[in-house]
Amino acid sequence: MTQRPEADPPYMDSATDPPIDPPTPDRLLHTGSEGAVDPEDLVRLTGRDVTPERLEEARKLLEEYGPAAVERYLP
């Protein structure tokens, strides 16, 4: 009696594969508003180009809201 080699596991695609890493726990997620934020940081997180006008707008938001201004753009 001949033995058959072990068959490869069935092909799995991304729709059926389990995730490689578990989701990040909420306690580890943060926006960075607990640290220093400068106007350029604020403009960049919006995904827009840094311009003098946008830097000035960001500076005003930071004066009004402090580092929490980041929360206006990030969940």
> Is the per-residue pLDDT at 53 higher than 90?
yes
Predicted model pTM: 0.53
What are the sequence ranges of the domains in the chain?
33-72
Mind listing the pLDDT tens digit for each residue in 22-46? Answer: 776 776 665 555 667 889 988 988 8
Longest dimension (CA), the chain: 82
Burial of 55 per CB tally in 10 Å (0-12, 13-18, 19+): middle
Query: CA-CA distance, 12 to 3, in Å (whole number)?
Result: 26
